Amino acid sequence: SSAALALLGGSVAALVVWKWLGKKEIQKKIEEARRTRDEGMKKMAKAVQQFREQVPSVQRDAILSLPLLELTRRLQEGSLSPRTVLYTYLEKVSALEVTQQTNCLRHFIPECEEQLQEIQRRTEKGLLYGIPVSIKDHIGHKGHLATCGLVQGLGTLMEEDSVLVKVLKKQGAIPFAMTNVPQSLFSYECSNPIFGQTLNPLNPWKGPGGSSGGEGALIAGGGSILGIGSDMGGSIRLPSSFCGLCGLKPTAERLRWVLCPSNPARVPCALGPMARDVDSLALCMKALLCQEMFQLDPTVPPIPFNEQVYSSSTPLRVGYYDTDGYFPLPPCMRRAVKDTRHALEAAGHQLVLFSPPRVPYAVTELFLKTFFADGGRAWLDVFTGDIVDPVLKPQVNSCKMPRLVKKLLALLLKPLQFLLLLKLKEIAMISTCRSVKEMWNHQHQIQLYRSQFISQWKELQLDVVLCPVLGPAFTKGYPGKLLTAVSSTMLYNLLNFPAGVVPVSTVTEADEEELKLYKGCCGDPWDRTLKQAVSGAVGMPVAVQCVALPWQDELCLRFMKEVETLSRDQ
DSSP string for 263-327? -TT----EEEEEESSHHHHHHHHHHHSSHHHHHH-TTS------HHHHT-----EEEE-S--SSS
Other CB atoms within 10 A of residue 159 CB: 8
- Which CATH number applies to 42-300? 3.90.1300.10
Q: Which residues are catalytic?
A: 136, 211, 235
What residue spans of 460-546 are helical by DSSP H?
Answer: 487-495, 509-515, 525-534
**In 3D, which of 293, 306, 284, 127 has the Cα closest to residue 215?**
284
Residue type, 534: V
CA gyration radius for the chain?
24
| C-alpha distance across the termini of the chain, in Å | 83
Return per-residue pLDDT of the chain as tens, 570 residues.
Answer: 676 666 666 666 665 666 666 788 999 999 999 999 999 999 999 999 999 999 998 899 999 999 999 999 999 999 999 999 999 999 998 765 678 889 999 999 999 999 999 999 999 999 999 999 999 999 999 999 999 999 989 988 999 999 999 999 999 999 999 999 999 998 999 999 999 999 999 999 999 999 999 999 999 999 999 999 999 999 999 999 999 999 999 999 999 766 555 555 556 789 999 999 999 999 999 999 999 999 999 999 999 999 999 999 999 999 999 999 888 899 999 999 999 999 999 999 999 999 999 999 999 889 988 888 887 888 888 888 889 999 998 888 888 877 777 667 766 765 554 444 444 444 444 567 778 888 899 899 999 999 999 999 999 999 999 999 999 999 999 998 898 899 999 999 999 999 999 999 999 999 999 999 988 777 677 788 999 999 999 999 999 999 999 999 999 999 999 999 999 987
> Is residue 200 within 8 Å of 245, Cβ to Cβ?
no
What pLDDT score does 423 carry?
Answer: 41
Question: How far is CA 227 from each of CA 31, 230, 509, 529, rounded to the nearest angstrom?
Answer: 27, 10, 32, 31
What is the C-alpha separation between 220 and 245, in angstroms, rounded?
A: 7
Q: How far apart are CA 512 and CA 525, in angstroms?
A: 19
- The pLDDT, as a whole number, for residue 17 is 66
Q: If 0-12 CB within 10 Å is exposed, 13-18 middle and 19+ buried, where does residue 456 land? A: middle
Coil, helix or strand for 110?
A: coil
Taking the C-alpha atoms of residue 30 and residue 284, their distance in angstroms, rounded to an integer, is 34
DSSP 374: T
Long-range contacts of 65-68 (CB under 8 A, 24+ apart): 67/276, 67/277, 67/279, 67/280, 68/131, 68/225, 68/226, 68/275, 68/276, 68/277, 68/279, 68/280, 68/283
Residue of 554, 8, 81, 563 whose CA lies nearest to 282:
554
Domain boundary assignment for the chain: 42-300, 310-376+435-569
Do the domains 42-300 and 310-376+435-569 sit in the same CATH topology, yes or no? Answer: yes
CA distances from 254 to 138, 147, 268, 553 (A): 19, 25, 11, 9
| Predicted local distance difference test score (pLDDT) of residue 327 | 87
The DSSP code sequence of 507-518 is --HHHHHHHTT-
- Spatial distance between the Cα atoms of 101 and 197, rounded to a whole number of angstroms: 11
Nearest alpha-carbon partner for 34 in 145, 131, 200: 145
9 CB-side CA count, 13 A: 6
Q: Which helix (H) or strand (E) holds 352?
A: strand 350-353
The CA distance from 212 to 474, in Å, is: 15
Pairing of strands 105-108, 317-320: unpaired
Span 310-376+435-569 CATH architecture: Alpha-Beta Complex (3.90)
> pTM of the prediction?
0.94
C-alpha distances in Å from residue 307, one per residue of 247, 285, 546, 564: 18, 11, 18, 18
